[in-house]
A and B are shown apart, each in its own frame.
Chain A
């Protein structure tokens, strides 16, 4: 259990793990597209439940407090002063207008109406909503604040290119690698992550729910600022490639971890097979600067043609791992989202078509 000062409540260690969601997918229509689009559409409503609730709750609370200001009568003229991030999405402003009207404080654009200044700012730890009205030569100010960690940035738009990209999992813990489950019928995912300087392998079902967690502390790894590891699910067992050693464990037993020293080499470039003409395409990324967004390059796997017909897919942060799946047409990409600070697993699928 860990406790957070701002909420004054303790939360379970897995609380920060967010269930999978899809991003808005933009590419040319095909049957696969339509299926993926349907999946995107179906999963969108649960994309940002925590964010909208926190901000909406705070907006409602602010409306309550504004309505309780003595001698404040409508109609009101609103003037917003919001930080760039909060100004970009005006939904909360509309919510505030509606909430004020519900409390019999109509909103108008009339210059003669009483001015109500509304501020929205992100401090290092909080989102602060402020309302100020001048009544009888005195500014009446009401402030509502909530933890900024409860508010994450809206998803970045996905570049409109000829590959399908789906966000399948995200976590505030550092994800090192992801692997499709050996039993493809399950449609789940295995993830290797670093939580508070300790490695864990986690098995998730197709809905993103955690089925099993295996601690890899017994591997006795040396602490590093650039933790690396590769996870390969083999059905009932899994193999983890760590610096200087290979570890194997059984999912069912949960705790058995057998490690032996071995000179390990990182994964070679992931190559996908096009569903159109069976040509091979290599996935590459820079991933060398954690402070900037990354580009995934998908290039024909032939030296003579390198770069000539490459596709690029922009990611919201550095790409940390690329792992081919059982399906030769898709791969799992681990990247850090610099907008939210979360680590994300994307599924990339090559699509036939222009």
Chain B
């Protein structure tokens, strides 16, 4: 009885302690200023120059994340489908959505203190927007004119490479964003062990003059080229705050009670036929291979349920109609078609040569699964180890290598406009739009028809869709990324035990010794 009473007392005390800890004396605790966020990324290289990015590539995804720290766009899209003013404070267009006007935010300065001018906006956007658009600057605004309607212009401007920057004569790029690049340490051999390479590091510091207010963090330190297991370990031991988690490590991370955030599936893994190998031109062969593929096993076994099977080029969260595309495995039909094909097509001494365009062990495993599935339909697919460019639509292999018939590639969706995404995919893969679709695909039914045409041609066969997984350390607060993968680090703050003091009552950010720098944001 006495023991029970003691237990009760202990339990009540624990609850009280918890409540006292959860609700401190202040009526409402506010975000804290200060601290450095340590981020680790997988890719070893980066470019902060949007003019250099290749649509759909993994590197573009990483570059976009880093660039969002330094540059801003005209508008942003919030989580509720509303466009929010950023560098543009007002916008309007005519009834046909061909002529757009954007009034720019006054008193915005680049990180070197020089003012943002409409001409800067025109120069930055002209390079990344289609050449058919005509941009002009006036005193306080810019105009965009198009020969055809562009109702999705805001979706385009709020995503992808549509950042506003100023290029200095020495190619330094300046931004107006919440941070600026303070230091870049290139990857280099360790002094103590020249055989090992010290990863590249970037240090971003808070831009005190940001028109939207200084970010909460003092700095963000980004380490590039860290392998997935190392990143996970660093997160576990408190050496990193934000890391990328590879799909095959997600389960382990969650088992270890790590906080793993996942985006909407924003990367497509797909096969692309290459006419360099003549067999690929045979549409029956393409159909047989498509019918042999077991997407469920790929998503649920190989990728441990961290991916979803896909028969569409665009994910449902972007197009809204992806559920209409189905491509169930039908091995019997695949065999039947195969039996009607010449024996040397994807068989005998002439296997279909498959190249894995994107790096990583998972891609190789997926390619092997494609070969296994094909074999079940009596199609011979052989993994080729050509040293071609790792991008979709890359040039054919050199003459020393036998021609390729198939590529396994990854495509990262980087636009919020489904029309722009289809256009970009067609362009990168050197696929021609249908003649009737030479004009922009404005209506959703037009986009659906074009996607259906591409899928029925089977030049591209979608396999699975992968979300982006990010491991977050416990002290990270206000982690509010967009579901399409934008991180929004300007609003993040850190609560460390012995961390920076809270912002003073009244709300002004404490003065920070870091100046907005005298050097530009460097690419």
Chain B residues near A288: list those with CB within 8 A: 28-31, 477, 495
In the complex, per-residue mask of B211-240: 1 if CB is within 8 Å of any chain A CB, else 0: 111111000000000000000000000000
Q: Looking at the complex, which of B76-84, B168-176, B328-336 is the stretch in contact with chain A?
A: B76-84
Write out the residue numbers on chain B whose beta carbons fall within 8 Å of the beta carbon of A119. Answer: 320-321, 323-324
- What is the distance, in angstroms, from A351's C-beta to the closest C-beta of chain B? 22
Cβ contacts under 8 Å, B483 to chain A = 124
Check B416 for interface membership: any CB of A closer than 8 A: yes
Number of A-B contacts (CB under 8 A): 207
The answer to whether A291 touches B479 (Cβ under 8 A) is yes
Q: Does any Cβ of B come within 8 Å of A214's Cβ?
A: no
Instruction: Select which of A1, A147, A297, A307 is within 8 A of B15 by beta carbon.
Output: A307
Alpha-carbon distance A288/B492, docked complex (angstroms): 11
Q: Across the interface, which residues of B come within 8 angstroms of A3, CB to CB? A: 90-93
With A143-B444, A226-B30 known to touch, is A132 a contact of B324 (CB < 8 Å)?
yes
Judged by a CB distance under 8 angstroms, whether A260 is at the interface is: no
| B7 interfacial by beta-carbon distance below 8 Å | no
CB within 8 Å for A124 and B211 given contacts A266-B505, A320-B28: no
**B residues 470-523 with Cβ under 8 Å of A?**
477-480, 482-484, 490-491, 495, 503, 505-509
Contact string against B for A residues 97-110, beta-carbon threshold 8 Å, 1 for contact and 0 otherwise: 00000000000000
A241 vs B508: C-alpha distance when bound (angstroms) = 12
B318 at the interface (CB under 8 A from A): yes
Tell me the minimal C-beta distance from B315 to chain A in angstroms.
9
Residues B27 and A269 in contact, CB atoms below 8 Å apart: yes
Which residue in chain A gives the minimum CB-CB distance to B15? A307
Hey, which chain A residues are within 8 Å of B506, CB to CB? Answer: 228, 241-244, 263-266
Contact B81–A148 (Cβ < 8 Å)? yes
Chain A residues contacting B321 (CB-CB under 8 Å) are: 119, 121, 128, 130, 141, 143
Q: Assess the B444–A81 pair: CB atoms within 8 A.
A: no
Is the Cβ of A8 less than 8 Å from the Cβ of B151?
yes
- CB-CB under 8 A from A222, the residues of chain B are 213, 508
**Given A8-B95, A243-B508; A2-B90 close (CB under 8 Å):** yes
A125 CB contacts on chain B under 8 angstroms: 77, 81, 83, 154-155, 416
A270 to B418, CA, bound (A): 49
Residues of A within 8 A of B212 (CB): 197, 223, 225
Residue A73 at the B interface, CB < 8 A?
no
Q: Does B20 contact A (CB under 8 A)?
A: yes
Chain A positions 292 through 315: 1 when the CB is less than 8 Å from some CB of chain B, otherwise 0: 000001010000001110100000
- Whether the Cβ atoms of A152 and B80 lie closer than 8 Å is yes
Query: In the complex, which residues 250-267 of chain A have their Cβ closer than 8 Å to any Cβ of chain B?
Result: 263-267
Contact assessment for A226 and B77 in the assembled complex, using a CB-CB cutoff below 8 Å: no
Shortest beta-carbon distance, A322 to chain B, in Å? 6
A contacts with B, residue count (CB < 8 A):
76
A208 is an interface residue with CB less than 8 A from chain B: no
Q: Residue A354 at the B interface, CB < 8 A?
A: no
A52-83, CB < 8 A from B: 81, 83
| Contact present for A226 and B27 (CB under 8 Å) | no
> Do A124 and B81 form a contact, CB below 8 Å, given A117-B324, A290-B491?
yes
Q: Are A124 and B15 in contact (CB under 8 A)?
A: no
Residues 305-330 of B, flagged 1 when their CB comes within 8 A of A and 0 if not, give 00000000000111111011000000
The reply to whether A226 and B31 form a contact with Cβ atoms under 8 Å apart is yes
B28 touches A321 (CB 8 A): yes
- Inter-chain contact A126/B83, CB cutoff 8 Å: no
Min CB distance, A145 to chain B, in Å?
Answer: 5
A286 touches B29 (CB 8 A): yes
Interface assignment of A137: CB less than 8 Å from any CB of chain B: no
> Knowing A8-B97, A322-B28 touch, does A224 contact B90 (C-beta < 8 A)?
no
The 4 closest A-B pairs by CB, nearest first: A128-B320, A148-B81, A228-B507, A224-B213
List 21 A–B pairs whose Cβ atoms lie within 8 Å, in order of A's numbering.
Answer: A2-B90, A5-B154, A8-B95, A8-B151, A83-B316, A117-B324, A121-B321, A128-B320, A128-B444, A196-B85, A225-B490, A244-B508, A265-B505, A265-B506, A268-B27, A284-B28, A286-B28, A290-B31, A306-B16, A306-B20, A307-B15
